[in-house]
Structure 1
Amino acid sequence: MTMGRQVGAGPRRVLFLGATGTIGRATVRALVSHGHQVVCLVRRPADFAIPVGATERIVSLADPSSVTRDGIRGEPFDVLVSCLASRTGLPDDAWAVDYRAHVNALNVSRAAGVTHVVLLSAICVQKPILAFQHAKLAFEAALIASGLAYTIVRPTAFFKSLSGQIDRVRRGKPFLIFGDGTLTACKPISDDDLGRYLADCLDHDERRNRVLPIGGPGEAITPKAQGERLFALLGRQPRFKHVPVVLLDVIIAILATTGRWMPALAAKAELARIARYYATESMLVLDPATGRYDAQATPSTGSETLFDYYARVIRGEAVAERGDHAVF
């Protein structure tokens, strides 16, 4: 079997998971621009075309034999890159995708010669209380124990996760914030900046065998600051609607109780728990000594800010593809 090339050895053959999402597409574009040969394993025909220069192969990621037969096809690969994530964060989905599908791909790709794995994870696993966080951490642990070189990237927040209220504000409605709007902060990063960072991990020795938190450029921003800038870009006076966090607690309690008899409501309770987590926890590096989030310790990269993106969406130069990142 052909062994994987070493860092900096020129173009590599890349096995890619998660190419149908916005971050996946951006990462594939960056890899192709670097001259790498990218084969994208997808669960169904993509709603959006795979970037030019990459190859699409349809597989069942739940079935290792399908990944081998339909994805690998007896060919050698050097690197496994994954931007794959569960769509809902619900327990069954999270363990099936964030853990088992990744374990399957890890085992099969190792047999195909892969020696380096670049994984897009999430910074929220620093303080895990939700099913999808535990599933992500379980695979991170499996990857670290695999003996392969690894690069685990934990971004702080995505533009699409913070763009859900643009249309709402345009329609004259107030910007929704939890509490006073300063409970949390993040350093959001664009798809393209994150895609370039992930692609560059193939060629940076200092990023191997490390867990890397990363954010976008500029200072950490709060939800209140997001709303203020959005109103300014629209030329309007800021209007906020304050939502008490305790309201989420009440909703969770009701859904969890009724969910004992109605599974659909139990799922909604978990989604409410996810919403509460993001409403109360900052997406920044967590200082284990103090238990506080540290904006200064959160690295920044890239060039596009969230407010640059807001301006492009308002001008009609960009479309907010939110998908399962919708909150409001």
Structure 2
Amino acid sequence: MPPMISTHISCLVLSSVLLLANAFTQHFSTGINFPSQPHKAATTARYSTITYQDATKNDLQISPSENKPGLGKVAIIAGATGYIGRAVVRECVARGYHTVSLVRNVTYALTDDALSGSSLVMCDVGNEDELNTIVQDIAGGKHLLESSIVTKPPPIDLMVSCLASASGIESEVYAIDYAATLSFLNAGRANQARHFVLLSAFCCRNPLLKLQQAKLKFEAKLAEQQDMTYSIVRPTAFFKSVSGQFESILKGNSYVLFGDGTVTHCNPICERDLATYMCDSALESFEKERWGKVLNIGGPDEPLSNRKLAEMMFESIGKKPKFVYVPTEIFDVSIGMIEWIAKNFPSEKWEDVLETAKIGKYYAVEDMLTTKEVEKFGERKMMDHFEQIAKDGQDPFTPVRATAIISQTLEALPVLSVSLPIGLGLASKPDLVQNVVASSPLANVPLLVANLMDGSLWLN
């Protein structure tokens, strides 16, 4: 077993990265942003408002083919600009659907070629009335591409929810993963939509976190309604979620492993394969296997430990692996400290920080793995992905971890030994800690404890 970092170093990582957040403000502001790879600009307009004519004359009869099961039908995707949402849009367009992408910002969405071929409709999914009106308009034939004009409004065949909160804090998950998703479902029910596909999460099988509880609450609502058939898809992990340290090791930093690097295992699924699986789930040919069911799904890889993933990543860039190790107990230390602060200095902000710390621990110790052959799908493997990003660059949706800071800090032991008393001193004075955090530009957002570990964002 490789050497473990001692407990006092763990405390230092905690105090230096979590509590002394303002000391690392510059690193955080530049270290965990998404890569700035621009989308290609759109070359043709993809949004229009069309009202269909009366269907009593010259109806256009379209016979869906085996390769184009969506011809003559509408698919609506909520969360269309997200990592999986974009892949679902591409898949629906390829299947011949009149595809409608619900987006927050049409101007931004127009720059994303992944949404080409779909109608872009600006929609605040948190506004129930607005969402209902838009879905009703779509059912009446509005918001479809000019090239899609026929004389009869096509039916809404498929609604796909890829909605998910970004942070995992309680207020967001119940607003997005539950309430907004429920409004989307109800709008479909009110307008005779046929099938609803929910992008859920594999981790809901062990719901210790608010985000999982919110998803399960919606899943229960989906299962109890009888107006639409449905499929609940729970992917294990995404390729982007296990690629977050790529930029760091490319710059020569060590890969940060929690525990001995074999605490957790996963078999992530490619976003394109997942989109295919989700859209297939709406087909009548999959009625017995996938309708009205919770579907756990992972990629074709055998169980991959965090260390194995790291070794594959180093191999893809032709570098010798090097690691630093952090014990998973660091999360117990941080959670205990934050719980004490939250209890003695009650505030929603500290509750959010606490929940984020729990998210970090959860994904550091829980497998995101399915080994049943029936629950493995697709052909693209993790090594294919690593080789591609080594050649073409990182996916712009990949969250860049703050692990470069940890790697550099843990290798600077003399500096650590000097700063340790400062960190522990702050830990014993929560009022001072609160002032330190409040003085940071990060004070208005939860401290992203989850960003301290490589698997923290295996969320959907």
Rounded Cα–Cα distance in structure 1 between residues aligned with 2:183 and 2:400:
24
Aligned mate of 2:134, from 70, 82, 107: 70
**In terms of Rg, which structure is larger?**
2
Deviates more, 1:186-195 or 1:250-259: 250-259
Deviates more, 1:241-250 or 1:73-82: 73-82
The 2-side partners of 1:177 and 1:266 are apart by 27
CA distance in 1, matches of 2:125, 2:339: 31
Q: CA deviation at 1:10?
A: 4.9
Aligned counterpart, 1:289: none
Counterparts in 2 of 1:298 and 1:124: CA distance versus 1, 3 Å: farther
- Equivalent position of 1:95 in the other structure: 174
Judge which range, 123-132 or 34-43, deviates more.
34-43
Aligned to 2:376: 300
163-172 vs 230-239, which moves further: 230-239
Residue number in structure 1 paired with 2:389? 313
Query: What is the SS of the residue equivalent to 2:257?
Result: strand
Query: In structure 2, do the counterparts of structure 1 residues 47 and 249 end up closer, same or farther at CA, with 3 Å as the change threshold?
Result: farther
Judged with a 3 Å threshold, the aligned counterparts in structure 2 of structure 1 residues 160 and 58 are, in CA distance, closer, same or farther, namely: same
Q: What do residues 141-185 of structure 1 show as CA deviations (whole Å, max 9, x unaligned)? A: 100101121111100000111111001111211111111111111
Residue by residue over 1:79-131, the C-alpha shift from the partner in whole angstroms, topping out at 9 and shown as x without a partner, is 21111111111111000000000111111111111121111100000000000
Do the aligned partners of residues 10 and 79 (structure 1) sit closer, same or farther apart at CA in structure 2, a change above 3 Å counting? closer
Distance 1:56 1:324 in 2: 28
Correspondence 1:31 to 2:114: no
1:174-204: CA deviation from partner (whole Å, max 9, x where unpaired)? 1111111111111111111111111222223
Tell me if 1:146 matches 2:225: yes
Is residue 327 of structure 1 aligned with residue 391 of structure 2? Answer: no
The separation in 2 between residues aligned to 1:10 and 1:311, in whole angstroms, is: 33
Q: Which residue is equivalent to 1:291?
A: none
Q: Deviations over 1:207-227 (max 9, x none)?
A: 211111111112110101011
1:70: how far off? 3.3
- More deviation in 11-20 or 251-260? 251-260
Change (3 A) 1:193 1:62: same
Task: Judging by fraction of residues, say which structure has more helix.
Answer: 2
Q: Does 1:194 align with 2:274?
A: yes
Displacement of 1:317 in angstroms is 4.9
Do structure 1's residue 231 and structure 2's residue 314 form an aligned pair?
Answer: yes
Counterparts of 1:114-193 in structure 2, within 5 Å, are: 114-147=193-226, 148-193=228-273
1:19 aligns with 2:65: no
Q: Tell me if structure 2 keeps the 8 A contact 1:58–1:70.
A: no
CA distance in structure 2 between the aligned counterparts of 1:297 and 1:252, rounded to whole angstroms: 37
Shift of the 97–14 alpha-carbon distance from structure 1 to 2, 3 Å rule, reads same
Residues 40 and 57 in structure 1, CA contact (< 8 A), matched pair in contact too: yes
The answer to whether the 8 A contact 1:41-1:71 is kept is no
1:57/1:323 CA distance change after superposition, 3 Å? farther
Write out per-residue CA displacement over residues 227-259 of structure 1, whole angstroms, 9 at most, x where no aligned residue: 111122222222111111111111112122223
**Is the aligned partner of 1:52 residue 2:116?**
yes
Kindly indicate whether residue 353 of structure 2 is the aligned counterpart of residue 268 of structure 1. yes
Select between 156-165 and 61-70 the one with higher mean Cα deviation.
61-70
Structure 1: how far apart are the matches of 2:400 and 2:291?
Answer: 31
Of structures 1 and 2, the one scoring higher in RCO (CA 8 A, sep 6+) is: 2
Q: Which runs of no fewer than 5 residues in structure 1 stay unpaired? A: 286-294
**Alignment partner, residue 208 of structure 1:** 291
Structure 2 gaps, min length 5: 1-54, 56-63, 141-154, 402-449, 453-460
Contact 1:94 1:135 in 2 (8 A): yes
Taking only the aligned residue pairs, the percentage that are identical comes to 35
Within 2, Cα distance between the matches of 1:185 and 1:97?
29
Determine which of 333, 336, 344 is the counterpart of 1:253.
Answer: 336
- Is the 1:30–1:196 contact (alpha carbons within 8 Å) kept by the matching residues of 2? yes
Distance 2:83 2:173 in 1: 19
Residue deviations 1:266-323, cap 9 Å, x none? 32221111011000000124xxxxxxxxx24672111211221111111125524224
